[in-house]
C-alpha cells in the first residue's frame, strides 16, 4: 500500500535567516512517520506574502497532508492566514470564538488584550478553527487541491499540545494509515564505516531499507521493513544485525520519539532498580547533570571546570597514578547520599578542551554497592563534542555495569 505523502512547512524570517533552528519539523516528522505517512519534504520560507502563496499552491498539488507552523502571531510579520486566503480564495473573517479565546488568555494573565492580538482571530472563511488552550494564536485547517492543510503556531509547546489534542486523532479518521515498521539499533562508541562493514557481513533482504544516523558518540542503525514483513521475520533480521555489530548495541527499539538514547535507557534501569546517582563531572561540563535533572534517581552533581578544580575537590594530584587517584575518589564519591556515584577523572587545560585536534584521556569511575569500576576512553573533537561524548560514555559505564558487559575493570 502506498503511504500518503506529507510535507512540513515552516514560516518565518527567523528560520530562513538562521536566527533560530527549526526543531518543529523534526518533531512533526517523527510523529508523521510513526503514523505511517511518507514525509517527502521540509520547506521553510520567510515572511514574504508572495513566497508563502507560491509555496502553498505548490504543496497543494503534490502532497496529501501539509503541516504548517509559524506566522500566526500578532505582529506585522505574521502572514500565514493572509497567504492562505490569497492562495486558495477564502476571505479572512473575524472568528468570534477565536477572539473570545485570545481575550480570555490575557484575562487569565490578569492583563487586557493588546489591540494587535485581534488579528489572531481572523481566519479563512470555511476553515476549521483549532483551539489553542496553551497560548494565544488559534490554528486552523482546510483542504485545498488534494491536500489537507493544518496551520499551527510555531511556539513548540503550543504546537505539540495542539498536534496531540486535535491533529493526531483527526489524521486517523481521514487517512488509511498502515505504518512501515522501523527497527532502530542504538549503538555507542562505533563509527558509521565500521557499522556498515559489520552489516555487510550479513545478507539483508533487498526490501529492507538500511539507514544510519551518525555523527555523535551515539550512532543509530535503522532497518525499515515494508508492512508485509511478519513480526518473526522482523525480529530475526534485527537480531542478526545486532549480533553482527556486537556489544556496542545498547538498545533495540522502534520508531517514535527517539527516547532510546543511552541516557534514557540507563535512566529507566536506575528507576527500575530504585537506585540513586550522584555525579562529579569534569569534561562533560554540566551536560551530564542536565541530562539527569528532573529524574527521580538524581541526587545532585558537582561540575568541576578543570584539573585544578579536580585536585581541589578530590584531593588528588595529576601525578597520582590512576589506581591511587581512584582510591582517593571512591570513598569521597560514596559520601554523597546516593548508592551509585560516578566521576570523570581527567587532567586537562582549558586550551586542550577547546582544541578540536587535541584528545583527552578520561577515566570514568563508578562507585557501586558491590565495588568500584572503571572504564578509560580517549575523547576528541571540539568542546561541545567532548562534552557530549563524555556524557554518553558516563552513562555507558553504568550500562556496562548493569549488563555485566566486558570492557569494565574492577578497582
Task: Please say which residue, 80 or 220, places its beta carbon nearer to a copy of itself.
Answer: 220
Q: Under a CB-based contact definition with an 8 Å cutoff, are residues 89 and 32 in contact? A: no
- Coil vs helix vs strand at 194: helix
Q: Is 177 in the site for a copy of itself (CB under 8 A)?
A: no
Task: Please say which residue, 18 or 369, places its beta carbon nearer to a copy of itself.
Answer: 18
Which residues between 179 and 198 bind a copy of itself (CB under 8 A)? 192-194, 196-197
Task: Please say which residue, 180 or 365, places its beta carbon nearer to a copy of itself.
Answer: 180
Q: Under a CB-based contact definition with an 8 Å cutoff, are residues 153 and 70 in contact? A: yes
Among 3, 4, 11, 39, binds a copy of itself (CB under 8 A): 39
* CA–CA separation, 106 and 112 (whole Å): 6
- What element of type H or E holds 395? helix 383-403
Which residues between 370 and 409 bind a copy of itself (CB under 8 A)? 381-383, 385, 387
Task: Please say which residue, 10 or 86, places its beta carbon nearer to a copy of itself.
Answer: 10
Tell the residue number behind the cell numbers 492580538, with chain if given. Answer: 117
Q: How far apart are the first and last CA of the chain?
A: 57
Q: Under a CB-based contact definition with an 8 Å cutoff, are residues 177 and 36 in contact? A: yes
* CA–CA separation, 410 and 5 (whole Å): 53
**Assign residue 173 a region: left if phi > 0, alpha if psi is -120 to 50, beta otherwise?**
alpha
Task: Please say which residue, 75 or 104, places its beta carbon nearer to a copy of itself.
Answer: 75
Q: Is 46 in the site for a copy of itself (CB under 8 A)?
A: yes
CA atoms within 13 A on the CB side of 356: 1
Among 53, 167, 223, 301, binds a copy of itself (CB under 8 A): 301
C-alpha cell at 33: 512517520
Q: Under a CB-based contact definition with an 8 Å cutoff, are residues 304 and 282 in contact? A: yes
Which residues between 196 and 255 bind a copy of itself (CB under 8 A)? 196-197, 200, 209-215, 220, 222, 255
Among 3, 4, 11, 31, binds a copy of itself (CB under 8 A): 31
Task: Please say which residue, 287 or 399, places its beta carbon nearer to a copy of itself.
Answer: 287
For the bound state, the minimum distance from the C-beta of residue 396 to a copy of itself, rounded and expressed in Å, comes to 19
- Coil vs helix vs strand at 123: strand
Which residues between 305 and 334 bind a copy of itself (CB under 8 A)? 305, 309, 312-313
Per-residue contact string for residues 70-89; x = within reach of a copy of itself by CB under 8 A: ---xxxxx------------
Among 68, 304, 316, 379, binds a copy of itself (CB under 8 A): 304
Q: Is 342 in the site for a copy of itself (CB under 8 A)?
A: no
Amino acid at each position: 500500500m502506498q503511504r500518503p505523502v506529507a510535507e512540513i512547512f515552516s514560516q518565518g524570517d527567523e528560520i530562513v535567516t538562521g536566527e533560530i533552528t527549526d526543531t518543529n519539523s523534526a518533531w512533526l516528522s517523527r510523529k508523521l512517520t510513526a503514523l505511517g505517512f511518507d514525509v517527502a519534504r521540509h520547506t521553510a520560507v520567510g515572511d514574504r506574502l508572495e513566497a508563502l502563496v507560491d509555496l502553498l499552491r505548490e504543496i497543494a498539488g503534490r502532497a496529501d497532508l501539509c503541516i504548517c507552523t509559524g506566522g500566526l502571531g500578532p505582529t506585522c510579520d505574521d502572514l500565514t492566514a493572509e497567504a492562505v486566503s490569497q492562495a486558495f480564495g477564502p476571505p479572512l473573517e473575524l472568528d468570534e470564538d477565536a477572539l473570545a479565546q485570545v481575550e480570555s488568555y490575557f484575562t487569565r494573565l490578569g492583563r487586557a488584550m493588546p489591540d494587535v492580538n485581534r488579528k489572531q482571530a481572523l481566519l479563512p472563511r470555511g476553515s476549521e478553527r483549532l483551539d489553542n488552550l496553551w497560548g494565544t494564536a488559534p490554528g486552523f485547517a482546510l483542504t485545498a487541491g488534494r491536500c489537507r492543510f493544518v496551520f499551527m503556531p510555531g511556539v513548540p509547546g503550543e504546537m505539540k499540545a495542539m498536534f496531540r489534542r486535535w491533529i493526531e486523532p483527526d489524521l486517523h479518521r481521514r487517512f488509511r494509515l498502515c505504518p512501515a515498521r522501523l527497527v532502530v539499533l542504538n549503538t555507542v562508541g562505533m563509527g558509521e564505516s565500521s557499522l556498515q562493514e559489520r552489516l555487510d557481513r550479513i545478507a539483508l533482504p533487498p526490501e529492507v531499507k538500511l539507514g544510519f544516523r551518525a555523527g555523535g558518540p551515539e550512532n543509530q542503525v535503522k532497518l525499515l521493513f515494508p508492512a508485509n514483513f511478519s513480526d518473526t521475520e522482523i525480529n530475526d533480521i534485527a537480531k542478526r544485525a545486532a549480533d553482527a555489530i556486537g556489544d556496542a548495541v545498547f538498545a533495540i527499539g522502534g520508531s517514535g520519539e527517539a527516547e532510546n538514547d543511552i541516557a534514557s535507557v540507563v535512566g529507566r534501569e536506575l528507576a527500575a532498580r530504585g537506585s540513586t546517582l550522584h555525579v562529579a563531572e569534569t569534561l562533560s561540563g554540566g551536560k551530564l547533570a542536565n541530562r539527569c535533572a528532573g529524574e527521580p534517581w538524581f541526587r545532585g552533581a558537582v561540575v568541576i571546570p578543570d584539573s585544578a578544580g579536580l585536585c581541589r575537590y578530590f584531593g588528588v594530584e595529576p601525578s597520582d597514578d590512576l589506581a591511587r587517584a581512584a582510591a582517593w575518589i571512591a570513598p569521597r564519591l560514596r559520601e554523597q547520599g546516593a548508592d551509585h556515584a560516578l566521576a570523570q577523572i581527567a587532567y586537562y587545560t582549558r586550551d586542550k578542551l577547546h582544541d578540536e585536534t587535541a584528545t583527552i584521556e578520561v577515566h570514568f569511575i563508578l562507585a557501586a554497592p558491590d565495588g568500584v569500576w572503571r572504564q578509560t576512553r580517549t575523547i576528541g573533537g571540539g568542546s561541545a563534542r567532548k562534552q557530549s561524548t563524555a556524557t554518553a560514555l558516563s552513562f555507558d559505564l553504568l550500562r556496562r555495569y548493569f549488563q555485566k558487559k566486558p570492557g569494565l575493570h574492577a578497582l
